[in-house]
Chain A
Amino acid sequence: MGVETHMQVRVVRADMLSANVRRLTLQRPDGAALPPCSAGSHTVLTMTTPQRTARNAYSLLAASLAGGEWQIAVQKSQCSRGGSAYIHEGLRIGDVLTASPPANLFALNHTARRHVLVAGGIGCTPVHAMAHELALRGAEFEIHYAARNAEAPLAAELRASWGTRVRLYVTSDGERPDFAALCSERPLGTHLYVCGPQGMIDDVRHAARLGGWPASAVHAECFQAPAGGVPFTARLARSGVTVAVGEQQSLLEAIEDAGIAAPCLCRGGACGQCEVAVLAHDGELLHCDHFLSDADRARGDSIMLCMSRLRGGELVLDL
Chain B
Amino acid sequence: MTGNAFRSRPEYRRLAPAPEAHLHVAVAAGAGLAAIASAFTISMQGAARLVILYTPDGDAFDCGQSVAASMAVAPDVHKSRDELLACLNATLDAATMGTRVYVAGNESFISAASVVARACGVSADAIELEHCGSVARRVQCVHCKTRLEDVVASPVQCSCCGENLLVRDHYSSRLGAYMGVSIDADAPGTAPPPSPLAPVYVAEGEPSWV
**Chain B interface residues (CB < 8 Å from chain A):** 18, 20-23, 92, 95-100, 120-126, 208-210
Distance between Cα atoms of A208 and B126 in the complex (Å): 13
Indicate whether A214 reaches chain B with its CB closer than 8 angstroms. Answer: yes
B210 in contact with A205 (CB, 8 Å)? yes
CB distance from B94 to the nearest CB of A (A): 10
Q: Which of A29-37, A65-73, A86-94, A179-187 lies at the binding interface?
A: A179-187
Other-chain contact of B209, A187, A188, A215 (Cβ < 8 Å): A215
Nearest to A192 among chain B residues (CB) is B97
A214 in contact with B20 (CB, 8 Å)? no
**A187 to chain B: which residues have CB within 8 Å?**
96-97, 121
**B125 to chain A: which residues have CB within 8 Å?**
214-216
Other-chain contact of A214, B92, B96, B210 (Cβ < 8 Å): B210
Indicate whether A210 reaches chain B with its CB closer than 8 angstroms. Answer: yes
Indicate whether A159 reaches chain B with its CB closer than 8 angstroms. Answer: no
Residues 170 to 193 of chain A near chain B (Cβ within 8 Å)? 183-190
Over the window 189-227 of chain A, the binary record of Cβ atoms lying under 8 Å from chain B Cβ atoms (1 yes, 0 no) is: 110000000000000010011111111111000000000
B121 in contact with A213 (CB, 8 Å)? no
Distance between Cα atoms of A211 and B20 in the complex (Å): 7
Report, nearest first, the 4 A-B pairs whose CB atoms are least far apart.
Answer: A189-B121, A212-B98, A188-B121, A209-B210
**A110 to chain B: which residues have CB within 8 Å?**
none
Distance between Cα atoms of A187 and B208 in the complex (Å): 22
A113 in contact with B121 (CB, 8 Å)? yes
A210 in contact with B20 (CB, 8 Å)? yes
Nearest to B18 among chain A residues (CB) is A212
Size of the A side of the interface (Cβ < 8 Å), in residues, is 21
The verdict on A188 contacting B20 (CB below 8 Å), with A113-B121, A209-B209 known, is: no
Distance between Cα atoms of A209 and B19 in the complex (Å): 9
16 extra interface residue pairs, beta carbon distance < 8 Å, beyond A211-B22, A215-B125: A186-B97, A187-B96, A188-B92, A188-B96, A189-B120, A190-B121, A205-B210, A209-B20, A209-B210, A212-B18, A212-B22, A212-B99, A213-B98, A215-B208, A216-B124, A216-B125
The verdict on A214 contacting B123 (CB below 8 Å), with A188-B95, A190-B97 known, is: yes
**B97 to chain A: which residues have CB within 8 Å?**
183, 186-188, 190, 211-213, 217
**B210 to chain A: which residues have CB within 8 Å?**
205, 208-209, 213-215, 218
Distance between Cα atoms of A297 and B126 in the complex (Å): 28
Ordered by A's residue number, 21 sampled pairs between the chains whose C-beta atoms are within 8 Å are: A184-B96, A186-B96, A187-B96, A188-B92, A188-B97, A188-B99, A188-B120, A211-B22, A211-B97, A212-B20, A212-B23, A212-B97, A212-B98, A212-B99, A213-B97, A213-B98, A214-B209, A214-B210, A215-B209, A216-B125, A217-B97
Residues 255 to 274 of chain A near chain B (Cβ within 8 Å)? none
CB distance from A191 to the nearest CB of B (A): 9
**B124 to chain A: which residues have CB within 8 Å?**
216
CB distance from B99 to the nearest CB of A (A): 6
Distance between Cα atoms of A1 and B210 in the complex (Å): 30
B121 in contact with A212 (CB, 8 Å)? no
**A214 to chain B: which residues have CB within 8 Å?**
123, 125-126, 209-210
CB distance from A249 to the nearest CB of B (A): 35
Distance between Cα atoms of A190 and B124 in the complex (Å): 13
Residues 54 to 97 of chain A near chain B (Cβ within 8 Å)? none
Nearest to A217 among chain B residues (CB) is B123
Nearest to B126 among chain A residues (CB) is A214
CB distance from A289 to the nearest CB of B (A): 19
Nearest to B48 among chain A residues (CB) is A212
Nearest to A190 among chain B residues (CB) is B97
Nearest to A210 among chain B residues (CB) is B20
